[in-house]
């Protein structure tokens, strides 16, 4: 991880050197901007990792944008289709080479924060001001570095719980509401479990990402890794609580797939759910497209949705983990104002969008109906809309505590949980080790 980080730093430092030298219906009406109109035709370059299907959607969006701004041409460049990790590697090299890069899309807040810190992206504040746009009122999450905005949210990913409706009814359980807790989740998993051996249906499934190691840290805390004074947060009591919940569900209740199987067999969380190997899945809203697709993922049960459980009966209702994708404008772009017009259009137009919008003012009902209305036998739109857009839905995470080295801290969390569950250590020992590793990473990155 350190080697990767150093490589990224060296590439981005080279880029910085080059840079130094050189509202109505949301489906029909895009948010207006007040930036100066372009007089001379320009071409901006947009880097992404679009697949063939995604590229077709991007093409339609660009056509809509160019109809509105005929003097701004957009060239969409998919570096490594379908692979955001490899795309970012190529993007960094492209930036460092001095080739024209005006805007890129980033798969998470950690990646955009890393490049904001290295100076290869430009702050958006002056463009928001000129356009009379308050980003906090417009977008769910607004990446900030040293008090300035660097990313504009495009798609949002809300975490939720997907449940096999048939299994839920068989077990005589009601659809969970916003007041349920992780203790309730455990009881549901017990009752949803069915059978034994290779044909067993587990009540729930946890994948091997950091979000599953301690979900509470991603919903209830300002940062899953750091305190407000940028110290390791791994000694927080929620880690012991969630680690021990995971162990109890696996070892005592046998209601979740063993973690050793998850990593040993490299299980796919989508497949586990649609093949009915599990009845309940904590996941991001990216799963919705999969459960709505009965051809690629053959299944005949309807998926209903519930909020992420509360950490305790005293915790606020509606807390969830909200992630997404973000546009970032390159610091060495010669067409920053035009590029801002482009990303503002892309983030607010939902006429052909195939994912959930990060724009707060989108007509959510119309968007869900367009995306999944033809698949109502597989997706319950009522529970989905409530889970995603209820006024109680929110996150505690603050972008003011986001740091460029967050991905390294996430790896510490994942490794710490893995050691806890596989080596049968105590939560306290795991927390101690995680805190020590995090201390070293923080010191290395704040010298």
Domain boundaries, the chain: 21-157+322-381, 159-320+398-445
Residues 352-391: tens digit of each pLDDT: 999 999 999 999 999 999 999 999 999 999 999 999 999 9
Residues 156-202: tens digit of each pLDDT: 999 999 999 999 999 999 999 999 999 999 999 999 999 998 899 99
Residue 68 has pLDDT above 80, yes or no: yes
The model's pTM is 0.84
pLDDT band at 23 (very low <50, low <70, confident <90, very high): very low
Instruction: Give how far Cα 50 sits from Cα of 59, 77, 289, 304, 325, Å.
Output: 11, 8, 16, 29, 13
Helical ranges in 230-300 per DSSP H: 237-247, 259-264, 269-274, 288-291
pLDDT band at 93 (very low <50, low <70, confident <90, very high): very high
Is 224 in contact with 209 (CB distance < 8 Å)?
no
Please tell me the number of Cα atoms within 13 Å of 243 on its side-chain side. Answer: 26
3-state secondary structure of 335: coil
pLDDT band at 37 (very low <50, low <70, confident <90, very high): low
- Burial-class residue 331 by CB neighbours within 10 Å (0-12, 13-18, 19+): buried
pLDDT band at 446 (very low <50, low <70, confident <90, very high): confident
Q: Quick check: do 21-157+322-381 and 159-320+398-445 share a fold?
A: yes
Q: How far apart are CA 254 and CA 246, in angstroms?
A: 10
**The predicted structure's pLDDT at residue 6:** 41
Beta-strand relationship, 103-106 and 322-329: antiparallel
Residue matched to tokens 């697949």: 51
Residue 222 has φ and ψ, to the nearest 5°, of -70, -25
Q: Which CATH class is domain 159-320+398-445?
A: alpha beta
In the predicted model, what is the mean pLDDT of residues 65-80? Answer: 97
What fold characterizes domain 21-157+322-381? D-Maltodextrin-Binding Protein; domain 2 (3.40.190)
């Amino acid at each position: 991880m350190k080697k990767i980080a150093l490589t990224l730093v060296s590439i981005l430092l080279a880029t910085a050197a080059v840079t130094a030298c050189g509202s109505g219906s949301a489906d029909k009406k895009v948010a207006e901007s007040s930036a100066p109109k372009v007089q001379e035709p320009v071409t901006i370059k947009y880097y992404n990792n679009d697949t063939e299907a995604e590229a077709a959607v991007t093409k339609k969006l660009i056509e809509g944008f160019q109809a509105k701004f005929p003097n701004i041409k957009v060239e969409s460049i998919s570096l490594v289709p379908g692979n955001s990790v490899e795309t970012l590697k190529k993007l960094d090299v492209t930036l460092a080479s001095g080739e024209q890069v005006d805007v890129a899309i980033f798969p998470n807040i950690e990646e955009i924060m890393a490049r904001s810190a290295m100076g290869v992206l430009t702050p958006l504040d002056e463009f928001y001001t000129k356009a009379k746009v308050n980003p906090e009122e417009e977008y769910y999450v607004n990446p900030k570095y040293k008090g300035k905005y660097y990313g504009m949210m495009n798609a949002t990913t809300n975490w939720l719980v997907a449940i096999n409706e048939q299994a839920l009814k068989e077990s005589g359980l009601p659809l969970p509401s916003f007041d349920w807790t992780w203790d309730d989740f455990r009881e549901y998993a017990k009752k949803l479990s069915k059978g034994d051996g290779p044909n067993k249906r587990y009540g729930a499934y946890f994948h091997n990402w950091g979000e599953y190691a301690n979900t509470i840290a991603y919903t209830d805390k300002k940062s899953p890794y750091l305190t407000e004074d940028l110290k390791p947060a791994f000694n927080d009591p929620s880690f012991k609580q969630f680690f021990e919940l995971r162990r109890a569900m696996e070892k005592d209740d046998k209601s979740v797939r063993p973690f050793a199987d998850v990593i040993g067999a490299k299980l796919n969380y989508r497949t586990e759910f649609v093949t009915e190997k599990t009845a309940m899945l904590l996941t991001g809203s990216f799963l919705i497209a999969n459960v709505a697709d009965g051809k690629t993922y053959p299944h005949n049960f309807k998926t209903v949705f519930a909020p992420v459980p509360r950490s305790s009966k005293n915790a606020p209702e509606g807390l969830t983990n909200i992630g997404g994708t973000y546009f970032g404008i390159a610091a060495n772009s010669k067409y920053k104002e035009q590029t801002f017009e482009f990303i503002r259009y892309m983030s607010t137009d939902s006429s052909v969008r195939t994912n959930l919008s990060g724009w707060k003012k989108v007509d959510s009902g119309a968007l869900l109906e367009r995306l999944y209305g033809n698949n109502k036998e597989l997706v319950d739109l009522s529970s989905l809309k409530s889970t995603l857009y209820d006024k109680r839905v929110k996150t505690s995470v603050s972008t003011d505590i986001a740091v460029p080295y967050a991905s390294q801290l996430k790896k510490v969390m994942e490794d710490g949980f893995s050691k806890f569950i596989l080596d049968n250590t105590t939560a306290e020992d795991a927390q101690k080790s995680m805190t020590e590793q995090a201390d070293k990473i923080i010191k290395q990155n704040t010298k």
